[in-house]
């Protein structure tokens, strides 16, 4: 395909420079002349050969391609509603070519970022969380990206958020045309090293994107093509990796066994052994370790003392004195430690207020900026609700946390039995897409609880909901966190902080 730099398309889009080229398309940076000066956009031309004699404007194949192109454009328009996916600004057909005009993302892709230096563990986790949140939205639209790789993830300059570009749908158009040619060869969407086995076999699924993202994270940690990295080696020495024989060893970002295990599961060859959804990976990444390691009371052995031989009664006195001395030494240490821990706990809930309900004997801390509403509904068992402030005029659903207390049935003896009943109750409601994590246990202030996460619609709005529940004295205490699907993880940290402060007296 000849370069079109300098040309004006549709009397509007002035082509400035070429950004990239593949067997599927050529991408250009363009200036939109209908908008204020230096307003840039991206023009993508779908690439295919005209060698097929049946391919002409009057053919059935061309008409079929036009319909497919419009359908894919509509899909991209829908996906572009996500703030981290480029918006589709325009699409058109001109001189036997299909054109897509998309928002220009100003930033660096992961490939360019890694060239300057490997990502740290925290930076890699942030990358994973950013992209998994996008993938959750994409998969909810029934779309599989199929080409997640470092060059298709751009860190936007204005807010440092990762953006996902270059969806596979338009590539399918090129494949459909070229497949008609007798000398055509099979082409697989995706880059070598990032494509899982089932996608190579032409049967991609949602876990295929999780596999590719895992491989991208490995690249970000090592700067090496994923098929050269032995990830299992990380569990042994956590510092170096074995490459091909003709290459020397290269330093790899040191990462924890926890992240190693997560990446290992993301890139399993058998898709059934991987995480089955983006939400599962996000939940695993955000799971907190509530373990506190305290130092031993003595960092060195007590000084050795030699005493003259004395009667047994004197030795006994000396022993008592030594014990009293050590107790006196320990008390300030313990007091300082308690003060330190209390200080951390107090600062942890800075900006939070405390709510107490004497009828139900519960206390919980909630953000001061959130509104509080007493419910105490005898029918539903709802006690109180906290809701987040409105972010802007377009914010149509405020995130909320509410507490429900209900009496247990006589035949329920433990938390696992109640979990089954609650899961069945949610599953029985039509239209709920349930994602249950039965092994997830959460520590509340003075109780052990469990969690169920699921999705549903309220007035056409996609909602993600988490039910955290525990039982005490023949009653079930349920704390529910609700948020728009796209904002669920934005407020999850605050919600968990609130939920974990629940105390049942």
Q: CB neighbours (10 Å) of residue 27? A: 18
**Under a CB-based contact definition with an 8 Å cutoff, are residues 372 and 355 in contact?**
yes
Catalytic residue among 147, 209, 416, 474: 147
Residue 147 designated active-site: yes
Give which of 253, 252, 281, 279 is closest to 266, Cα–Cα: 281
Q: What is the DSSP letter of 220?
A: H
**Under a CB-based contact definition with an 8 Å cutoff, are residues 187 and 48 in contact?**
no
Instruction: Give how far the C-alpha of residue 459 lies from the chain's centroid of Cα atoms, to the nearest Å.
Output: 26
Instruction: Return the exposure string of 340-357: e unless at least 16 CB atoms fall within 10 Å of the residue's CB, then b.
Output: eeeeeeeeeeeebeebeb
- Helix, strand, or coil (residue 418): helix
Q: How, if at all, do strands 503-504 and 13-21 pair? A: unpaired
Q: How, if at all, do strands 352-357 and 448-458 pair? A: unpaired
Cα–Cα distance between 308 and 327 in angstroms, integer? 24
Cα–Cα distance between 257 and 493 in angstroms, integer? 23
Partners of 21 in the beta sheet?
26
Q: How, if at all, do strands 475-484 and 88-94 pair? A: unpaired
**Under a CB-based contact definition with an 8 Å cutoff, are residues 453 and 461 in contact?**
no
Task: Catalogue the active-site residues.
Answer: 147
């Amino acid at each position: 395909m000849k370069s079109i730099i300098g040309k004006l398309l549709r009397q509007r889009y002035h082509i400035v420079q070429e950004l990239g080229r593949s067997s599927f398309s050529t991408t250009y940076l363009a200036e939109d002349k209908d908008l204020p000066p230096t307003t840039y956009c991206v023009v993508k031309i779908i690439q295919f050969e005209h060698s097929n004699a049946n391919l002409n404007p009057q053919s059935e194949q061309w008409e079929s391609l036009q319909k497919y192109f419009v359908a894919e454009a509509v899909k991209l328009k829908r996906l572009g509603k996500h703030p981290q996916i480029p918006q589709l600004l325009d699409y058109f057909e001109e001189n036997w070519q299909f054109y897509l005009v998309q928002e220009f993302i100003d930033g660096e892709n992961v490939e360019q970022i890694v060239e300057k230096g490997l990502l740290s563990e925290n930076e890699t986790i942030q990358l994973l969380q950013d992209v998994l949140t996008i993938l959750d939205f994409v998969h909810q639209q029934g779309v599989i990206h199929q080409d997640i790789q470092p060059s298709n993830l751009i860190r936007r300059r204005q807010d440092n958020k990762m953006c996902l570009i270059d969806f596979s749908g338009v590539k399918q158009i090129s494949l459909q045309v070229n497949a008609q040619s007798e000398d055509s060869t099979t082409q697989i969407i995706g880059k070598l090293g990032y494509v899982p086995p089932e996608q190579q076999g032409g049967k991609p699924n949602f876990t295929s994107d999780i596999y590719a993202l895992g491989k991208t994270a490995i690249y970000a940690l090592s700067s090496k093509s994923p098929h050269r990295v032995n990830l299992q080696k990380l569990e042994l020495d956590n510092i170096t990796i074995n490459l091909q024989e003709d290459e020397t060893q290269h330093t790899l970002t040191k990462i924890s066994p926890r992240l190693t295990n997560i990446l290992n599961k993301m890139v399993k060859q058998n898709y059934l052994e991987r995480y089955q959804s983006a939400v599962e990976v996000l939940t695993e990444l955000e799971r907190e370790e509530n373990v506190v390691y305290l130092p031993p009371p003595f960092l060195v052995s007590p000084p050795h003392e030699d005493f003259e031989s004395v009667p047994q009664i004197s030795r006994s006195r000396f022993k008592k004195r030594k014990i009293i001395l050590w107790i006196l030494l320990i008390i300030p240490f313990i007091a300082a430690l308690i003060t330190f821990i209390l200080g951390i706990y107090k600062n942890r809930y800075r900006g939070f207020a405390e709510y107490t309900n004497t009828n139900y004997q519960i206390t919980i801390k909630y953000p001061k900026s959130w509104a509080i509403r007493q419910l105490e509904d005898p029918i539903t068992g709802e006690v109180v609700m906290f809701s987040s402030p409105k972010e802007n005029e377009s914010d149509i659903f405020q995130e909320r946390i509410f507490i429900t207390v209900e009496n247990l049935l006589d035949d329920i003896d433990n938390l696992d039995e109640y979990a089954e009943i609650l899961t069945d109750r949610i599953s029985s409601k039509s239209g709920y897409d349930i994602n249950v994590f039965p092994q997830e246990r959460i520590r509340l202030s003075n109780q052990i609880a469990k969690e169920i996460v699921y999705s549903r619609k309220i007035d056409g709005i996609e909602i993600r909901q988490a039910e955290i529940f525990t039982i005490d004295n023949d009653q079930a205490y349920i704390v529910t966190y609700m948020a728009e699907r796209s904002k669920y993880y934005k407020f999850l940290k605050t919600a968990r902080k609130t939920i974990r402060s629940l105390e049942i007296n």
